[in-house]
Structures are given as structure tokens and as C-alpha cells.
Amino acid sequence: MAVATVPETLLAPAGLNRWDSPWLNTKFVSGLVMVVAVLLMGLIGTRFWPERLALVASSPINLPPAWVSPNPQFGPPEAAHPLGTESNGRDILAVIITGAPRSFQVGLIAAGIGMLVGILLGFTAGFLGGWVDNVIRTVADSVITIPSLALLILVSSYVRVVDISSMALILAAFSWAGPTRLIRAQVLSLRERGYVRMARLSGISSFDIMFREMLPNMLPYLASSLAGNVAGAILAATSLEALGLGPTRIPTLGMTIFYAISSSAVLRGMWWWWGFPILILIVIFTGLFLMAIGLDEIANPRLRGASADA
């Protein structure tokens, strides 16, 4: 990036320079920065901040963040617990550092599986057509209409979730329908494009046409959909946890919100207890959301042009 000082005209003969790359979309990049920042906080943070402070009774209870002026209601703020502690003796900073990567993990696993199933079913439906298409489309459409959170609540109230990966698997069972629908529509529209017809005429196998000709052309759409689905899966996981249906030993961000709600931290004025987990989640959601919109604009130049004059 050191060449940034070179006059643009020297680098770009036809008005196309490296800074014109559609991937340098403002929304996409700022979203990516937010997501990476939270991930780094989790990855680097565990090196400097002991993870065991996230366990119950590891710290004094009810301390406000270090910069808050002492309040008779709560203990005196301590530098050892910069973001304060909650009523079960957990250090909020440690909770955030250990919780944020877990949220990403759940989201990525669930959305990743959903996306793989979606690619498989979407291509099958769009490419084969006929009754296969009818069956897949009808089932996917039905699953989309079902309020998945309700079924997730049912499942996790029977199968009390104990760890992150079983949570992710349960969520994955409901996150394939959206991608299937999207990919099927894309396949249908790409199927009649010139290069696909050309490939078919050249006698390339259906498999190669699907995965070597069409799939690369869908990548921005898929990436946008994946970013949206990761956010959706994290939201579903957080919602279940906020109802108390999540892993209990090592707190996740959602479980922390649940503990805060059930100890009525909101009405006791302990804003740091629920405020910091929510802040981190908002950064995650906004980051993923911006990435999804940015990727949409990368995939669809019409939206991009419009955003310039808006």
C-alpha cells in the first residue's frame, strides 16, 4: 500500500486503478473492520486477561466499571476489574472476551452448514427442475414461513444445550431454507446465460458447469447471504440464551444478558452488566450487516451506482 502516493494517472491508464476495485466498498470494509476488531479482542484478549475470571465467584460482586464514581449501592470501583463485575462474581471484561468468539463460532458453524446444504439443494433444484425442483422449493418455502425461534425453543427446552457445538447444530437445522431459495433463484437466472450455454454445448459435465462455471459467479451473492446468515444464527443463539436456554458454565454473551435480566440488573441500574455484552453484540450485528450490504453492492452494480448519488 506504499504506492498510494504515486499519482493515480500513472497507475491507471483507462481510469481503472486499484482503488476502483469494487471490493473496496466503504460499507463492506467498515463492516469487516468491526467484525475483525471483535474477533481480535477475543483472540488477543485471552492472552492478557485470565479466562477463569469469567467463572462464577472469581471476583468480588457488584463492582461498577473503574471510571464510575463510587456509589453507596455498589462496591468501590477497582482497577483490577475495569468493566466492573456482576452479582455472581464474574468479571465483565473476561465475560466479553470469552463470550464474543463463542458467539462467532456458533454463528459460523450454523450458517456454514446451512449454506452448504443450501448450495447442494439449490443447485439440484435449479439445475434438474421438474418434480425435484417442485419438492425442494415447496419444502424450503414452508420452512421459511415457520417461526424457527419457536421450534428452536421447543428443541432446546427438551435437549438442554450444554456446549457450543450442539447449539450450532440445532441452529443449522433451521438455516438451510433461506440459502436454498436464494441459490435456486440464482441458478435459474444464470442457467440461460451465454457462457453457461456455451459450456453446455462444449460438452462439459453438469457437475463442472455447476461448480466451475456458475458457482464462482455467485460468490458475492453467497458471501452476502452468508454474512446475513451468520448474523441470523448469532441472533437465534443469543435469543435462546437470553431465555435461559443455553450453555451455563462458561457464560456466552446471551447467557450474560439472561442472568442480567433475571437478576433485574436493568432496574437496579447495573448498566455495565447487560450494557457491555449488548454493545459487543451490536458491533457484531452492525459489522455483519454492513458486510452483507457491501457485498450486495459489489454483486449488483446498480445498487452501487445509486449509493454514490444518494
Residues recorded for the chain: 310
Give the separation between CA 103 and CA 237, rounded to whole angstroms.
8
Per rule CB under 8 A, is residue 278 in the interface with other proteins? yes
Per rule CB under 8 A, is residue 128 in the interface with other proteins? no
Give the separation between CA 77 and CA 83, rounded to whole angstroms.
9
CB-CB contact of 104 with 234 (8 Å): yes
Record the cell numbers describing residue 9, joined without a space.
Answer: 494517472
Shortest spacing between CB 54 and other proteins, in angstroms: 21
Shortest spacing between CB 260 and other proteins, in angstroms: 8
Q: Between residue 32 and residue 51, which ones bind other proteins under the rule CB under 8 A?
A: none
Q: What is the 3-state secondary structure (H, E, C) of 143-190?
A: HHHCCHHHHHHHHHHHCCCCCHHHHHHHHHCCCCHHHHHHHHHHHHHH
Per rule CB under 8 A, is residue 243 in the interface with other proteins? yes
Place of cell 458453524: 109
Record the cell numbers describing residue 302, joined without a space.
Answer: 446498480
Is the Cα dihedral 42, 46, 48, 52 positive or negative? positive
Per rule CB under 8 A, is residue 155 in the interface with other proteins? yes
Per rule CB under 8 A, is residue 217 in the interface with other proteins? no
Kindly tell me which of 20 and 141 has the beta carbon lying closer to other proteins: 141
Binding range to other proteins, per CB under 8 A, among 10-18, 61-69, 105-113, 284-292:
284-292
Kindly tell me which of 209 and 258 has the beta carbon lying closer to other proteins: 258
Beta bridge partners of 85: 91
Binding range to other proteins, per CB under 8 A, among 52-60, 135-143, 203-211, 213-221:
135-143
Record the cell numbers describing residue 253, joined without a space.
Answer: 454473551
Beta bridge partners of 91: 85
Binding range to other proteins, per CB under 8 A, among 36-44, 59-67, 190-198, 262-270:
262-270
Q: Which listed residue (60, 82, 89, 244) binds other proteins by CB under 8 A? A: 244
Place of cell 450444554: 162
Kindly tell me which of 80 and 303 has the beta carbon lying closer to other proteins: 303
Per rule CB under 8 A, is residue 148 in the interface with other proteins? yes
The whole-angstrom distance between residue 34's C-alpha and the CA centroid of its chain comes to 12
Per rule CB under 8 A, is residue 267 in the interface with other proteins? yes
**Residues in the site for other proteins, rule: CB under 8 A?**
138-139, 141-151, 153-155, 157-159, 231-232, 235-236, 238-239, 242-245, 257, 261, 266-267, 269, 271, 274, 278, 281-282, 285-286, 288-289, 293, 302-303, 306, 310
